[in-house]
Structure 1
Amino acid sequence: MGDAAQALEQVWRDQWGRLLALLVAQYRRLDLAEDGLAEAFEAAVRTWAADGIPTNPAAWLLTAARRRVLDRLRAEAVAARKEPLLAVDAEVSQRAARVMADPGGLVEDERLRLVFLCAHPALERSAASALTLRLVLGVPTEDVARLFLVSRPTMAARLTRAKRRLAASGAPFRVPSPGELPGRLATLAEVVYLAFTAGYAPGSGPDVVRVAVAGEAIRLTRLLRELLPGDPVLDLLLALMLLQHSRRDARADADGLPILLPDQDRQRWHHDEISEALFVLAPYVGRPVAGREGSYLAQALIAAEHATAPTAADTRWDRIAGHYAELESLAPSPVVTLNRAVAVAEADGPRAGLSLLEGLDDRMPESHRLPAVRAELLARAGDTDGARTAYERAISLCGNDAERRHLVSRLEELKG
């Protein structure tokens, strides 16, 4: 990949949501903002390769996107008939000027407003979550589809319907009032956790982890906690994400291949984040909780068991399996069952884990992780032929380059 393409990909990952939020704040048109920014990125592919990478890539893209939005507004005659839509209040103007000078200092408030816009009550929770992933964080539609266990065309259609419904609702671009916030919490929590998952376990691309995306989800959670201090859902969600994100620097080797949890260098974990997470989690341990709070607590307790084990051999898999069983009763899903199977296999042997995988194929037809887990457990159980077949299936479904290379290496080991 050339320098221009690499720079553009980096700006996409780091700045897409920020730039889109600024455009929506200025023009109050989500559809035009998204189209204008996408067209600016397309123009950058051609221009940067020929003329070189601009000194301020984000500012270049913002200027190009604004031009395209204004062109569309003129074409629609909006500039003549709806002049107020083009008026930018003094605060937004000042922030835009600061962005042009320092794109890394983009104001958090606009991005948070965009999150609330996507999580508007006019949308179903799943649609709001998917739209936030796509628009705020720039997660590819293919990866959003994988998170929801649907095909790419299905997700593309859902996103289109969600944008149309949002536009028709006349949803305001603002942070809700304090009285509105509690009613939006369930959607917001799901949004940020799915955003974190998109960074922690990306379904496609070259990376084992997209640190910027996962870090942005944590940042958004911190902002939401400032708006709703002491809320159990946000406390538990922050603890869970910090515990998982603390391992980011140990999850891939120098060649970009994933390092499995038992083989990670625990000295490279971010122990300050683990300590913060355990502090936030402590008041909830042993406290009876249910519903969404209970599901986040169970997941956080699982992550805490991994984070506090001095070595892989010291991991208390029986406790982890128990927490997964509780999680499955609170928030049943094929992904939870899959993860429980891994824990049960560690605690009680591969055959016990394999028995929990029965019936999951119809519920996870597009997921490479199901056949990958099955392959590993079959290999441990001594069924080499079955493991090879499962690895071949996993490789055919895997869209993440690093994970695919790992699966290929495991298959080659079995063939050898």
Structure 2
Amino acid sequence: MDEALLRDLTPNVIGVLVRRGADFAAAEDAVQDALVEAVRTWSADPPRDPKGWLVTVSWRKFLDATRSDASRRRREDLVEEEPAPGPAVDVDDTLQLYFRCAHPSLTPSSAVALTLRAVGGLTTRQIAAAYLVPEATMAQRISRAKRTVSGVRLDRPGDVATVLRVLYLVFNEGYSGDVDLVAEAIRITRRLAAAIDHPEVAGLLALMLLHHARRAARTTSTGRLVPLAEQDRGRWDTAAIAEGVEVLQAALARDRLGEFQAQAAIAALHADAPTAGETDWVQIVEWYDELVRLTDSPVVRLNRAVAVGEADGPRAGLAALAALDDSLPRHTAVAAYLHERDGDRARAARLYAEAAGQAPNLAEREHLTRQAARLNALPDR
């Protein structure tokens, strides 16, 4: 079973059903039912035209659900005649569906969750993990969003900023290793950048390219996490870096700075340094200052504390860290790193061990555990 193909086809099939007259919620339900049947039957008998198969089966399931509903009489015109099975029109509805899911009637969080489900192909569990909420809570949020969408006309696009947040979350989810959606996120962002003259769309595309360029160096062959300072920069994708920098420079020239452009500028400064020791941390702190101004995000302030520690010394970084809530994700890991740089190995080892217990994934947990073990193995001074 080609899961990547199913993820590619899902938004297009939903789009076909919506164009035929199905409301969004009913179309998404019908396509999900068809996907379950595809998983069950395709391994033994794959169709020659996967999209056509999904469109036909999804439409039949939509008709079945509509005919059995109490509102059948209100939809008789819609269900009177079923289109003949056959190859589906080759139209890519993915981008349109992103905007439909970012409808103004939805809250940003609901729009993101619904898009990840309908377009990104993520499960409710994966979306809940991205939001750090229980799966049942996320399931309720998605259900409410679908009910809201089914009650409005999807005749105007949603907010660009919401679409960008969706794309960025899909991109980051792709890096988790659970579902690889990185290439899809970049593909859709390219299409969005070609369709919309917006510097933040370009900024997000640049950010994705610059982060993706370092992907091969992020882990070892055994899956161990490699920190940025220790990565083999010869494994970075120079073509992707060059493209990302070019896209970013064009966006910054518009003089309409946004958070994705600022994040991309930080990534570009890392990519531009031949070695970790040659990183321009002073400029990076300046860009983090811009990000704080734009977002006032505690996570941005946490990352800024690391940059301050590199630019002005670990004690300056610790002072910046002291102003932040110590319950922030990765706060303990940052404290461990800064205390190690300040020479307090015992405290750093304890904090690394504590951070390992808080790590969101196995690779990070193992990395932090190794850091604690490394310091504990050093002779006392």
Q: Does the TM-score normalized on the shorter chain lie above 0.5?
A: yes
Q: Could you say if the C-alpha distance between residues 22 and 312 of structure 1 is closer, same or farther in structure 2, counting changes exceeding 3 Å?
A: same
RMSD: 3.5
Distance 2:316 2:126 in 1: 31
| Within-5 A mapping of 1:148-167 | 148=131, 150-167=133-150
Matched, 1:31 2:25: yes
Quote the offset at 1:386 in angstroms. 4.1
* 126-135 or 384-393, larger mean C-alpha shift: 384-393
- Equivalent positions of 1:287-298 (< 5 A) are 288-289=255-256, 293-298=257-262
Q: Report if aligned partners of 2:207, 2:263 keep a CA contact under 8 Å in 1.
A: yes
Shift of residue 79 of structure 1? 7.0
Q: Which amino acid aligns with 2:310?
A: E
- Return the offset for 1:137: 0.8
Cα offset, 1:280, TM superposition: 2.0
How far, CA to CA, are the matches of 1:361 and 1:58 in structure 2? 54
SS in 2 for 1:169: coil
**Taking structure 1 as reference, are residues 154 and 281 closer, same or farther at Cα in structure 2, changes over 3 Å only?**
same
Match of 1:242 in 2: 209
Residue 194 of structure 2: aligned partner: 226
**Residues 374 and 44 of structure 1: CA distance in aligned 2, closer, same or farther (over 3 Å):** farther
Aligned partners of 1:65, 1:414: CA distance in 2, in Å? 58
Q: Give secondary structure in 2 for the equivalent of 1:95.
A: coil
Equivalences, count: 371
Equivalence for 1:104: none
Separation in structure 1 between the aligned mates of residue 286 and residue 185 of structure 2, nearest angstrom: 28
State which of 112, 127, 136 in structure 1 corresponds to 2:119: 136
Deviations 1:369-413 (A, max 9, x none): 333323333333344554455444444443433333323333433
Is residue 317–residue 347 contact of structure 1 (8 Å, CA) maintained in 2? yes
- Alignment of 1:402 with 2:363, yes or no, is yes
Q: Kindly indicate whether the alpha-carbon contact (under 8 Å) linking 2:10 and 2:119 is maintained by their aligned counterparts in 1.
A: no
Tell me what 1:102 maps to: none
Percent of pairs identical after alignment? 41
Q: Look up the match of 1:316.
A: 280
Q: 1:134–1:141: 8 Å Cα contact kept in structure 2?
A: yes
Q: 2:314 aligns with which of 350, 353, 358?
A: 350
**Residue in structure 2 matched with residue 327 of structure 1 by the alignment:** 291
Provide the secondary structure at the position in 2 that maps to 1:254: coil
The one-letter code matched in structure 2 to 1:357 is: L
Partner Cα separation in structure 2 for residue 414 and residue 308 of structure 1 = 31
Q: Pairwise mapping of residues 297-308 of structure 1 onto structure 2 (< 5 A)? A: 297-308=261-272
- C-alpha spacing 1:287/1:391, structure 2 compared with 1 (3 Å): same
Task: Verify: 1:217 aligned to 2:208, yes or no.
Answer: no
Match of 2:159, SS state, is helix
Match of 2:242 in 1: 275
Residue 79 and residue 165 in structure 1: after superposition, are their counterparts in 2 closer, same or farther (change >3 A)? closer
- The answer to whether 1:196 aligns with 2:171 is yes
Equivalent position of 1:101 in the other structure: none
**Separation in 2 of the partners of 1:412 and 1:40?**
50
Q: Are the structure 2 counterparts of residues 242 and 89 from structure 1 closer, same or farther at C-alpha, using a change threshold of 3 Å?
A: farther
Please show how residues 2-13 of structure 1 align to structure 2 within 5 Å. Answer: 7=1, 11=3
Q: Which amino acid aligns with 2:50?
A: A
1:185 matched to 2:160? The reply is: yes
5+ residue gaps in structure 1?
A: 1-6, 99-106
Give the AA of the match of 1:194.
Answer: L
Q: How far, CA to CA, are the matches of 2:49 and 2:101 in structure 1? A: 23
Q: Taking structure 1 as reference, are residues 337 and 70 closer, same or farther at Cα in structure 2, changes over 3 Å only?
A: same
Q: In structure 1, the residue corresponding to 2:226 is in which secondary structure?
A: coil
What is aligned with 1:251?
A: 218
TM-score (norm 2): 0.81
Change (3 A) 1:409 1:371: same
RCO higher in 1 or 2 (8 Å CA, sep ≥ 6)?
1
Q: CA deviation at 1:36?
A: 4.5
Name 2:96's counterpart in structure 1. Answer: 113
Q: Is the 8 A contact 1:17 1:135 kept in 2?
A: no
SS at match of 2:258: helix
Change (3 A) 1:23 1:187: closer
Moved more, 379-388 or 115-124: 379-388
The 2-side partners of 1:394 and 1:163 are apart by 38
2:285–2:308: 8 Å Cα contact kept in structure 1? yes
| 8 Å contact from structure 2 (residues 346, 376) kept in 1 | no
Query: 5+ unaligned residues in a row in structure 2: which ranges?
Result: none
User: In the TM superposition, what is the alpha-carbon distance from 1:285 to its structure 2 partner?
Assistant: 4.4
Partner deviation per Cα, 1:113-151 (whole Å, 9 max, x = no partner): 221110111112232123212321123445434544555
Q: Which has the larger radius of gyration?
A: 2
1:262 is aligned to 2:226? no
Q: Give the TM-score of the pair, scaled to structure 1.
A: 0.75
